[in-house]
Chains A and B, each alone.
Chain A
Amino acid sequence: MWARNMFETCLEIRHHFSDYMDDLCAPEARKSIRYHLSFCEVCLQQLDQWQMVREELRALPRRQVPPELALRMRVRVSQRVHEKLFSRLWVRFENALKPLLIPATGGVLSALICFCLFMGSRVVPVSDDPDVSVQWATPASVQELAPMDFNTDDNAVVVLTQINAEGRAKGYQVLSGQGSPELMQRLDRMVYFSIFRPATMFGRPTEGQVVLSLRRITVRG
């Protein structure tokens, strides 16, 4: 009963419409307003009008910042952020570079692709043999020396041998030691039946020279 009689007049009730709409009334006041509205047509109509005014206000289109103003504000903020000289210069440098970034990157990538395509056709063939060195240049060496016996003194025989790209001897020259016909004959046989590893340049076999120092092995017994 108390809630029903909380407000005496319509004017008193209407002072609470604002709170009532915002759901801020105390439960008793709310009950009392509802009770009053149940029989007072004038107050009910006014409350309807209040609510319609609210709906009209909420339906108003919201103003949007024009795009050029939004851009201008971002520029102003950016200028404020980069007020210091170094920072400002850095931004200008970046802004100057940014337009070049894509063309420059494209140019570098294009050059790289062209280079790869061009060099791909001229790539040095690399042997499947993992022992083949692909370093800048490797000297010729002996892979398998043909057996030889020669009857000479204990001095070593030093032979400079020219090796072709296939690993075969093209010729030789005795640098030191006895150059007897017999020795030369044996050397001929040994050199031409030996197998050499050719010299390489960038992994590609090429002609080279190898110096052989031969010494007679004597076993006592």
Chain B
Amino acid sequence: MGIARSVGITLEHTMPAVNEEAAFVGELRAGSEDAFAYLLTVYQNPVFNLVWHIVENSADASDVLQDVFVKVFKGIKGFNGDSSLRTWIYRIAVHEASNHRRSWIRRHWREPFSVDDNESPSAAAASEAVSSERSPYQVLEQAEREVVVKRALASLAPPYRTVVVLREIEGLPYEEIAQVLGLAEGTVKSRLLRGRELLRRKLAGYVGKEHV
């Protein structure tokens, strides 16, 4: 029976690295298509991940992602370099995703919806089981844990969730989170504390099961 196994990676494409952000921003301002292609390559996945955690839906995340980069393209001439390019892009992404979520809730507040984004853990696990070294049981268990963690994260109020995602998933420092959200650093700390505590309570029965 042929089992698909991952045996390596393939290099899709390469491009020169950008070391100097100011020069790169200059190229973006000049309307260089290559610079925008580089920008998309570097930032599209992190921004998509961030947006997805805020809007909780792949289709909506795709729409928001496009809007974000259109705004980046339109607004790059107004980017004055007060913050890093990443901070600026994340700020636009959080703003767009929050607006999208608010308008979505206004439109669909009567309709039931699932935070699982139609993703079946067993289907995801099955596709991974054939391509990993772990046993099907371990893969399924991991998939179920992911669903539980995602649910818990999605159940947090947006202010807490956004801070937790930026800190724990995107790994941004407090100062940058404060810049992205336009908040004081103290507010970021208190939201993070509250968000972490809420998550701990929600996941108390799941986390560290194997460690107990």
Binding site for B on A (CB under 8 A): 14-15, 17-19, 22, 24, 46, 48-50, 52-54, 56-66, 69-70, 72-74, 76-78, 80-81
Q: 7 closest pairs, A vs B, by CB?
A: A52-B207, A18-B193, A57-B168, A52-B208, A63-B49, A63-B52, A77-B36
Check A70/B44 contact, CB under 8 A, given A18-B193, A56-B207.
yes
Decide: A65 and B48 in contact? CB cutoff 8 A: yes
Complexed CA–CA distance, A80 and B49 (Å):
24
Q: How large is the interface on B (under 10, 10 to 19, 20 to 34, 35 or more residues)?
A: 35 or more
Nearest residue (CB) in A for B117 is A63
B126 contacts A by Cβ under 8 Å: no
Stretch binding the partner chain, chosen from B15-23, B82-90, B143-151: B143-151
Contact stretch, chosen from B1-9, B59-67, B96-104, B131-139: B59-67
Judge whether B77 is part of the interface by a CB distance below 8 angstroms: no
CA of A50 to CA of B126, assembled, Å:
30
A58: contacting residue among B58, B150, B169, B192, CB under 8 A: B169
The A interface is mostly helix, strand or loop, or mixed, namely helix
Interface string of B27-68 (1 = CB under 8 A from A): 000010100110010001110110010000010011001100
Query: In whole angstroms, what is the CA distance A19 to B143 when docked?
Result: 30
Among candidates B31, B73, B189, B204, residue contacting A19 with C-beta atoms closer than 8 Å: B189
Of A15, A22, A60, chain B has the most CB atoms within 10 Å of the CB of A60
Cα–Cα distance between A215 and B133 once the two chains are bound (Å) = 108
20 CB contacts below 8 A, A to B, read A15-B193, A18-B196, A22-B174, A24-B174, A49-B204, A49-B207, A50-B196, A52-B211, A57-B164, A60-B149, A63-B45, A65-B44, A65-B65, A69-B66, A73-B44, A73-B65, A76-B69, A77-B69, A78-B33, A80-B74
Say whether A69 contacts B62, CB under 8 Å: yes
Task: Using known A-B contacts A24-B174, A63-B48, A63-B52, determine if residue A53 contacts B70 with beta carbons closer than 8 Å.
Answer: no
Contact in complex: A49, B44 (CB < 8 Å) = no
Determine the residue in chain B with the shortest Cβ distance to A48: B208
Interface membership of B199, Cβ < 8 A: yes
Write the nearest CB–CB distance from A66 to chain B, whole angstroms: 7
Count of A-B contacts with CB under 8 A? 98
Given A57-B149, A60-B146, A62-B49: A73 touches B40 (CB 8 Å cut-off): yes
Interchain CB contact (< 8 A) of A53 among B40, B61, B196: B196
Residue in A53, A69, A77 whose CB lies within 8 Å of B203:
A53
Instruction: Give complex CA distance A127, B35 in Å.
Output: 59
* Cα(A43)–Cα(B45), bound, Å: 37
B153 located at the interface, meaning its Cβ lies under 8 Å from any Cβ of chain A in the complex: yes
A72 to B70, CA, bound (A): 12
Cβ–Cβ contact B149 & A56, under 8 A:
yes
B174 touches A18 (CB 8 A): no
Residues of A within 8 A of B174 (CB): 22, 24
Across-interface contacts of A54 in B (CB, < 8 A): 168, 196
- Known contacts A50-B200, A59-B146; can you find 12 more A-B pairs with CB under 8 A? A18-B189, A22-B167, A53-B200, A56-B149, A57-B153, A64-B48, A69-B65, A72-B66, A76-B69, A76-B70, A80-B73, A80-B74
Closest to A67 in B: B12
Residues on the B chain within 8 Å of A60, using CB: 146, 149-150, 169
Closest chain-A Cβ to B110's Cβ sits at a distance in Å of 28
Partner of B200, one of A46, A66, A74: A46
A57–B48 CA distance with the chains assembled, in angstroms: 16
Provide the bound-state CA to CA distance between A50 and B193, in Å: 10
Residues of chain B within 8 A (CB-CB) of A62 are 45-46, 49, 169
- Determine which of B62, B74, B146, B167 lies in contact with A61 in the assembled complex, contact meaning CB atoms within 8 Å: B146
Q: A73 contacts which chain B residues (CB < 8 A)?
A: 40, 44, 65-66, 69
Task: A56 to B196: give the CA distance in the assembly, Å.
Answer: 12
